[in-house]
Amino acid sequence: MSLTLTWSYDIVCLVRGTGGKSVSHLDDLFADLPETLRVSQVAKLLNKSNQGVLRWIYSGTLSAYKLGDTWFILREDLRDALSAGGNLHDEGDSPQDS
Q: pLDDT tens, 77-87?
A: 999 898 888 77
Domains of the chain by residue range = 9-84
Span between the terminal Cα atoms of the chain, in Å: 42
User: pTM (2 decimals)?
Assistant: 0.64
| Dist. CA 16–CA 28, nearest whole Å | 13
Alpha helices in 15-98 (DSSP H): 26-30, 39-46, 50-59, 75-84
| Dist. CA 22–CA 79, nearest whole Å | 16
Q: Which CATH class is domain 9-84?
A: mainly alpha
Q: pLDDT tens, 17-64?
A: 444 444 467 778 788 899 999 999 999 999 999 999 999 999 999 999
| Dist. CA 82–CA 85, nearest whole Å | 5
